[in-house]
Structure 1
Amino acid sequence: MKQSRIFSFCAAGALVTGLATAQNETHKYVASNAGMAEAFGHSVVVDGKYAVVSARNAVVNGVDTGAVYVYDRTMGMELYILQPADGGSGDKFGFDLAIEGDTLLVGSPHHDVMGMNMVGAVYVYDLTTGLEVGRLVPDTMVMMGHFGIGVDIDNGIAAIGAFTRNPMGVDSGEAFVFDVATSTQLHSLVASDGAAGDMMGWSVSISGNSVLVGSDLHAGHGAAYVFDATTGAQTHKFEPMDIIAGDRFGWMVDLEGNNAIISSHKHDRVITGDMDTGAAYLFHLGMNMQMGKFTAADGDANDEFGYSVSFDGGRVAMGAPFDDDATMNAGSVYVFDFATQLQEYKILASDAAMSDLYGSSIDVSGAGLLVGSVYDDDVIMNAGSAYEYDLAPPCWNKFCTVADGSTLNAATLDPSGCDLGGPVNMMMMGAPMNQFTYLLIGSGNSIIDGALFGASGNLCLAGGTIGRYTKDAGKIDMMGMFVTDISTTFTGGPNFGIPNSGGATILAGQTWNFQYWHRNMGGMPSGFSEAVSITFK
């Protein structure tokens, strides 16, 4: 499930920080026919074998018609470019996307219907063929209603937002429930206390018999409503306990069973006084109450954490596209464990650049994560891109780091992977330049203070067999870096003399621990890098 999108229309492999460090960037997608400022990555969805990315401003039948790109996730190959046969200038086709199996919904909120301006429409595609198989429009059409601004699907039933329709006053907003197979409208959803300017329907999510609808301008601070998909009746209204004016609660929503994640991307961090750091809240439908709050551990002013939200199974992902960690407005993504509500990862784009807005859209499905970077300039200025990651449990983890108490083990150690078919480059960085070094391998992970044998820092491979990688030793370069390839792609490796094994080869499924020993400058005692444990594939 997902929610994402950059709000910028007129009415007319990965650097990972945090608790884990081994996420795998599997693909970076760009449009095969990319154009300037087409905003590829505006909305993204991933499910099964498909990754789907929209470019809301693609020039097709005029400026800003929009287009949608479908990729094979295994090969990273473009399968289709979806463009509406009746698309017109300014339609914003692809403003939001939803996927279920082989069915794709594409929102086109500025599409004109029967000569009426910006009624909006939702297109239905069969992803096995790339062909349009249905079209959803509301029974009662309203000019400038923007039907399709938000879309979602579950069990063949679609939830669709139309945030500028007028059932309770100008721009009060409305949402709809449709049977996708028959293109039949089942219900119109209206907030019981809706008012002019609420713009309910900007974001929607459906799970089972419940529809969650965001109304981020309600009463000046925002709200979210839950409706029964069978009857259309409102069942809940959610507002967080600490809500204040301007929070934009309800900006993005995602629903899984009874658990609702609702973002508030303009929420301020009260303790520090930082404005617009952002937050997201967990509500439980069955208990009708707030159960938690998600925030970025390192959130800063104007990051807008929660600008995009996705929730699937045991993971919650949040985009913070205005995060400045890599560079100004480069953006970031946070991944949380749903059960504990603890942050697992913070991910930055591997090639982050200023104003890319990485994290402007996001979708998580199982172990797959797809992230939009709507203003990435890789192909041409502001053409956009999307990154896919494998969030499966990492095959390696660090220990003996400065952060966990080995303050003198300052040189970092990062493997490039775990597959012995390789390469598996053991990269040390931040080491003393021009000094001799070699790699250690061991089965143990106990820590010994190096001072006991005249060294600086901790030896972290004690408690088992330990030895030296015999095929490669040398001098750290002028940048403080040294790299050893221990995979089968390197001549002589990995038959480097596993301790007490007679030089046996490392095998898939085995776990070994590694650490660099190095000399220090000026005759100082020798030292050690941080350590890493690898389970090989």
Structure 2
Amino acid sequence: MRISLLTTPRRLPALAFRLTTVLAFFLLGLTRSSHAVEPVAPKDLPTSDWSSIRAAYEKGRHAAYRQDDGNLIARNPSQQWQAEFDGRGFTVTPDHGEWTWGLELTGYGERAFLPPPPDLHHEGGKISCRRDESLTEWFINDTRGLEQGWTFQDRPSRPNPAEPLHLHLTTRGNLLPRVTGQGENVSFEAPDRDIALSYGGLKAWDADGKTLSVRFEQAGSKQLRIVVEDQQARYPVTIDPVAQQAYLKASNTNPGDFFGWDVDISGDTVVIGAFDEDSNATGVNGDQANNASNRAGAAYLFVRNGTQWTQQAYLKASNTSAMEQFGAAVAISGDTVVVGASGDDSSATGVNGDETNTGSSNSGAAYVFTRSNGEWTQQAYLKASNTGAGDSFGYDVAIFGDTIVVGAIQEDSMTTGVNGNQADNFAAGAGAAYVFTRSGTTWSQQAYLKASNAGADDIFGWSVAVSDNTIVVGAINEDSNAGGVNGAQTNGTGGTDSGAAYVFVRNGTDWSQQAYLKGPASATRWKLGWSVAVSGDTVVAGAINDWTGAVAVFSRSGTTWTSQGFLNPSNLETVDYFGYSVAVSGDTIVAGARYEDSISTSINGHQANNNSPNSGAAYIFTRSGTTWTQQSYLKASNTGAGDEFGARVAFSGSTIVVGANRESSNATGVNGNQSSDSALEAGAAYVFDLEAPPAPEISITTATGTELVNGGTLSFGPLVEGGITQQIFYIRGGGTADLVLSGSPAAIVTGGSEFSVSTQPVGPLTPSGFTAMALLFRPTSGGLKTAVLSIPNNDLDEGPYVFRLAGTSLSYSFDTDGDGMNDASELNMAALGFNWQTSQVSLVNTFKTNANGAGYYSLNQVQELHAGTPLISKNPATGKFTLSMDWKKSTDLVDFVDFPAPAGSGVSISPAGDIEFEFSAPDPAAFFRLEID
């Protein structure tokens, strides 16, 4: 059983649990701002080498060291604290010295631990201590922080099996615990009642995916209990690894700014839009205090260093004006941000036109900003190629690398497809999308996209998304009654406002529509396309579906799209607007439900208490094969009625950002006071860290410790045909869960009969376990031999583990180097300097001359040699004949020495009359000469 907790600084509820067969506590935190400069790799040093050097350096910096009293000390430079381990628990002392804190497991169930003498073992930053016959406590100190865990070899017993498992903890230092909410959060408070640390979010599920109940309970002023309802669980059990990392507010929080109306993230940078912000500043980092430009809008950039977030920039339009709504849409990719302002009034067209000409009201614009050395500047001002009043260009924006997509929901042309006639405005509100690309620092329009069935009031462009060469555009009022993929687009009955999403792909610089995506047939008022997202070959489209909501998932194989079905949340209710926002990355989807009503906070809280109307929620779904399941249920750490948490979601790597544009605290910056509601609808954004769940890892090494790369090639030989060679390998478990070898047999060879598994590996393997495997190469003919070895397993990214087997077999019939001696013979005589790949005519001729003329013999090479002529003589006294030969041996064909008959040798006459002298080889590289005695 494993439980993992995430500790973060000041008012960041962030507790994650992880149960397998290990109960583990995960502590990431006491984090302080760090301004250290990341070391740069030396010039011409390969990245892999530099990474190895850095890894070794970090491992050394986090290693534990024994003290005179037997305790261990481990420094954590990135977290700026030191931890001491005494065999019962740990104590953390931060560099600032304002408090100390730690945890000690005092027992579990009815079992209490007496203070034992320290029995601490360590290797680098890994520390372990045996607590009883079943329980081992362990710690890992690394760049993430400090991970603590308890490994139970057996299910902990208890007098009443119907009772849950209780773990008893006591705190150390001067911080006092306070359990909050429904037991999903714990705050650790200093004596002045200021919160120094917080935990939040508990979830457990067993090996069958069944959710278990996990909670904190207050047990005294300094005591806690962890309660795990594991009575019906089938081990191993997994605990949800999601934790809130930050609570973001504008640097100039004001009521009604709607900070968090849109959010996006790329790596360690978050951009947040506040479309009703009122300052009249322009450009980057202007005066935030002058609120003389009503609803002009702004965007805010935050960056992460370790786990610490800070605001990096405050963005405004270069032509700020009232009602512009700059920040209503935001998107980021790397060092480039695009901000939409659908209320911009200029009549300019194209890129970097005259932004001061305000003759086209609400035509809309988009602004591009770029970062260099931490400084942001505006790079481009984008307008439609057919700017029109009221078109709302910039209503939604998306970016991927050097490609930007901008939606204009009220554009009126009735053309269809790509780059049609923009001037024919006979379909009011049909909508359009525009594609811009960058070359160097110059942006230009690449395409003008319209629906293949453009119709008035379809508002194509309501949502846009881009991933590499694929664009998705939502049209929420599209009316066909088609369902699924590529149905009839012209049928306008029975599907009023059903909505659609359109997929476009790029070939070179040319765009074309690839798919037309719909919800169920005749899904009136579904409004599919309310939100869209794309990652590789997966498209996600939200539909508010008569205000209840749903999320449709589509996948592509080649150029063909199919539906993977519809997602619904675990607490589906009417008017929740599930799917109001969506984000996708690989096999994970995040969906927002803007008007969800539960009063719970943080992660996986109680969903049924709807006492906080329209507080909002977000949901995480993960895919296995083609099946999607809900993994987590996210709420704000300060859930409030009407906050609309989940109005926008964004996802990058393992980080999720959720906007709550009507949140009302008057805090500013990062992780401020969430409890004051004096800034109505100021807005906020919340950052969550989605760690990988406990997972097995597989690695395979040779007997000498060389690691084999998944997908690589393992070479055998060269070997003489008819020979046999064996290699031994070790399969090792890793990660945080057992490695299961699921094949039958465990290791499977295909595609080559010359290779076989002589010793099958045996699993499952614990995270530190290993098993041996032996492979044979036994060629029966010459040439290159290949096969494939597959080891199916439950490692998510290396299952099955596959590598190519290759072996060279040398034949007595081939002479690769053309020097007159066959390959097999030269390999067998490599000790004498022969090389089957290098022509050595002189050496071969010397050998053959001596062999043929003087009767040299080489083991296994008699076909190259001829014997000399022995002498047969008669003994006159006895009348007997004697066959006399003088045997000599050499290892270099130069010096020969007498070769007495080895022990066990003998002479015999075969039935065919052949005289045979049998002996064991005295030297594998020996040659023999027969001389007349």
Shared fold, TM over 0.5: yes
Query: Match for residue 349 of structure 1?
Result: 569
CA contact (8 A) 2:333 2:401 kept: yes
Q: Distance in 1 between matches of 2:450 and 2:391?
A: 14
CA change 1:191–1:392 in 2 (3 A) is same
Q: 2:294 is matched with which residue: 117, 137, 158?
A: 117
Query: Match for residue 242 of structure 2?
Result: 76
Q: Which amino acid in structure 2 is aligned with residue 370 of structure 1? A: V
Q: 2:452 is matched with which residue: 241, 248, 253?
A: 241
- What is the SS of the residue equivalent to 2:394? coil
Query: Match for residue 172 of structure 1?
Result: 363
Q: Distance in 1 between matches of 2:271 and 2:550?
A: 27
Q: Distance in 2 between matches of 1:299 and 1:204?
A: 29
Query: Match for residue 717 of structure 2?
Result: none
- What is the SS of the residue equivalent to 2:447? strand
Structure 1 alignment gaps of length 5 or more: 1-30, 34-48, 50-69, 324-328, 398-418, 422-506, 510-534
CA contact (8 A) 2:519 2:526 kept: no
Q: 1:157 is matched with which residue: 324, 329, 336?
A: 336
Q: Which amino acid in structure 2 is aligned with residue 174 of structure 1? A: A
CA contact (8 A) 1:263 1:309 kept: yes
Q: String of CA shifts for 1:260-284, please: whole Å, max 9, x gaps.
A: 1111111001534320101011122
Q: Distance in 2 between matches of 1:508 and 1:287?
A: 51
Q: Distance in 1 between matches of 2:251 and 2:498?
A: 41
Q: String of CA shifts for 1:89-138, please: whole Å, max 9, x gaps.
A: 11110111110111100011111113211221111112331221111112
Identity %: 29
- What is the SS of the residue equivalent to 2:385? coil
Does residue 300 in structure 1 map to residue 503 in structure 2? no
Superposed CA RMSD: 3.0
Query: Match for residue 388 of structure 1?
Result: 620
CA change 1:157–1:184 in 2 (3 A) is same
Query: Match for residue 511 of structure 2?
Result: 288
- What is the SS of the residue equivalent to 2:570? coil
Q: Distance in 1 between matches of 2:574 and 2:317?
A: 41
Q: Distance in 1 between matches of 2:319 and 2:628?
A: 56
- What is the SS of the residue equivalent to 1:84? coil
CA contact (8 A) 2:494 2:522 kept: no
Q: 1:92 is matched with which residue: 258, 276, 284?
A: 258
Q: Rg: which structure is higher?
A: 2
CA contact (8 A) 2:544 2:550 kept: yes
Q: Distance in 1 between matches of 2:313 and 2:628?
A: 46
CA contact (8 A) 1:71 1:79 kept: no
Q: CA deviation at 1:393?
A: 2.1
Q: Which amino acid in structure 2 is aligned with residue 214 of structure 1? A: G
Query: Match for residue 311 of structure 1?
Result: 534
Q: Which amino acid in structure 2 is aligned with residue 215 of structure 1? A: A
Q: CA deviation at 1:392?
A: 3.2
Query: Match for residue 221 of structure 2?
Result: none
Q: Which amino acid in structure 2 is aligned with residue 277 of structure 1? A: S
Q: Distance in 2 between matches of 1:157 and 1:187?
A: 11
Query: Match for residue 79 of structure 2?
Result: none
Q: CA deviation at 1:188?
A: 0.2
Within-5 A mapping of 1:346-495? 346-379=566-599, 380-393=612-625
CA contact (8 A) 2:403 2:436 kept: yes
CA contact (8 A) 1:299 1:305 kept: no
CA change 1:208–1:508 in 2 (3 A) is same
Does residue 226 in structure 1 map to residue 419 in structure 2? no
CA contact (8 A) 1:357 1:374 kept: yes
CA contact (8 A) 1:71 1:80 kept: no
Q: 2:384 is matched with which residue: 182, 185, 191?
A: 191
CA change 1:89–1:341 in 2 (3 A) is same
CA contact (8 A) 2:12 2:247 kept: no
Query: TM (normalized to structure 2)?
Result: 0.34
CA contact (8 A) 1:508 1:536 kept: no
Q: CA deviation at 1:144?
A: 1.1
CA change 1:338–1:142 in 2 (3 A) is farther
Q: Distance in 1 between matches of 2:379 and 2:254?
A: 28
Query: Match for residue 106 of structure 1?
Result: 272
Q: 1:330 is matched with which residue: 542, 545, 548?
A: 548
Q: CA deviation at 1:536?
A: 8.5
Q: Which amino acid in structure 2 is aligned with residue 355 of structure 1? A: V
- What is the SS of the residue equivalent to 1:90? coil
Q: String of CA shifts for 1:347-367, please: whole Å, max 9, x gaps.
A: 111111111110000000111
Q: Distance in 2 between matches of 1:216 and 1:367?
A: 30
Q: Distance in 2 between matches of 1:71 and 1:116?
A: 41
Q: Distance in 2 between matches of 1:395 and 1:146?
A: 40
Q: String of CA shifts for 1:417-470, please: whole Å, max 9, x gaps.
A: xx999xxxxxxxxxxxxxxxxxxxxxxxxxxxxxxxxxxxxxxxxxxxxxxxxx
CA contact (8 A) 2:564 2:626 kept: no
Query: Match for residue 492 of structure 1?
Result: none
CA contact (8 A) 1:111 1:120 kept: yes
Q: 2:497 is matched with which residue: 276, 284, 301?
A: 276
CA contact (8 A) 2:621 2:628 kept: no
CA contact (8 A) 1:109 1:146 kept: yes
- What is the SS of the residue equivalent to 2:525? coil
Q: Distance in 1 between matches of 2:571 and 2:474?
A: 27
Q: Which amino acid in structure 1 is aligned with residue 244 of structure 2? A: E
Q: Which amino acid in structure 2 is aligned with residue 381 of structure 1? A: P
CA contact (8 A) 1:135 1:183 kept: no
- What is the SS of the residue equivalent to 1:262? strand
Query: Match for residue 133 of structure 1?
Result: 312
- Which shifted more, 285-294 or 362-371? 285-294
Q: Which amino acid in structure 1 is aligned with residue 303 of structure 2? A: D
Q: Distance in 2 between matches of 1:377 and 1:273?
A: 32
Q: String of CA shifts for 1:130-167, please: whole Å, max 9, x gaps.
A: 22111111222121111111111112111110000011
Q: CA deviation at 1:75?
A: 2.8
Query: TM (normalized to structure 1)?
Result: 0.59
Q: Which amino acid in structure 2 is aligned with residue 385 of structure 1? A: A
CA contact (8 A) 1:297 1:343 kept: no
Q: Which amino acid in structure 1 is aligned with residue 501 of structure 2? A: A
Q: Distance in 1 between matches of 2:522 and 2:590?
A: 22
CA change 1:71–1:196 in 2 (3 A) is farther
Q: CA deviation at 1:74?
A: 6.2
Q: Distance in 1 between matches of 2:615 and 2:694?
A: 37
CA contact (8 A) 2:393 2:407 kept: yes
Q: Distance in 1 between matches of 2:528 and 2:344?
A: 28
Q: CA deviation at 1:298?
A: 4.3
Q: Which amino acid in structure 1 is aligned with residue 404 of structure 2? A: V
Q: 2:396 is matched with which residue: 170, 187, 203?
A: 203
- What is the SS of the residue equivalent to 2:393? coil
